Amino acid sequence: MLTIAYGAHALGMPRLVLWEMGTSMPRGLYVYAHGIPAARGETIVLDEAPHWGRSYLMKRVEGLPGQTYCWDEQRQAHRLDDRWMTPVSITSRMMDIPVWQDCRTLDADEYVGYGRGDSYDSRYIGPVTADQIAGVYWLILPRP
């Protein structure tokens, strides 16, 4: 997996361009669009995700402030209000990746972000706060 990030992140500014080649988000060239707030379906970038080896983590916004995000032990999945989310992966269980197992209403500065498939996302790190989010990014050049 190759990731290239351009911008002035070291100066406290968001990265302006990200080249995403991972598998949990659509591949391609992303550009910084705006800061928080974010809308459902937009792509957010976290600067320092817990237990993550890369310099950033890119996810699609699924949960917004005011929604309720809950773990259901019996289903081994989270619920966002009345919508069941993608269950935790068997791979993550085999690797002993901790699952976020709480239930609460998202605060005014909290979001839930998900990726595709076996993505490392809010299933494991829980809701993320606005101060963890570098901004909203738009995919401008999709790649296969």
CATH number reported for the structural domain that contains residue 61 in this entry: 2.10.109.10
Distance CA 134, CA 130 (A): 8
SS3 51: coil
Strongest mean pLDDT among 24-28, 53-57, 93-97, 118-122: 24-28
Q: What is the mean pLDDT of the chain?
A: 89
Domain residues for the domain of 43 are 4-142
SS3 35: coil
Task: Report pLDDT digits (tens) over 42-97.
Answer: 999 998 776 677 788 999 999 999 999 999 999 999 999 999 999 998 888 888 88
Q: How many domains does the chain have?
A: 1
Instruction: Please report which confidence band the pLDDT of residue 12 belongs to, taking 50, 70 and 90 as the band edges.
Output: low
pTM for this entry = 0.87
Distance CA 135, CA 44 (A): 6
Which residues are CB-neighbours of 88 under 8 A, at least 6 positions away?
Answer: 76, 77, 99, 123, 124
Which residues are CB-neighbours of 11 under 8 A, at least 6 positions away?
Answer: none
Higher pLDDT, 45 or 9: 45
Instruction: Please report which confidence band the pLDDT of residue 110 belongs to, taking 50, 70 and 90 as the band edges.
Output: very high
Strongest mean pLDDT among 19-23, 102-106, 120-124: 102-106
**Residue-wise DSSP of 79-144:** EETTEEPPPPPHHHHHTTPPPP--EEEPPTTEEEEE-STT--SHHHH--EEGGGEEEEEEEEEE--
By DSSP bridging, strand 28-34 and strand 15-20 are antiparallel
Residue 32 confidence (pLDDT) = 97
Residue 94 confidence (pLDDT) = 85
Distance CA 59, CA 30 (A): 12
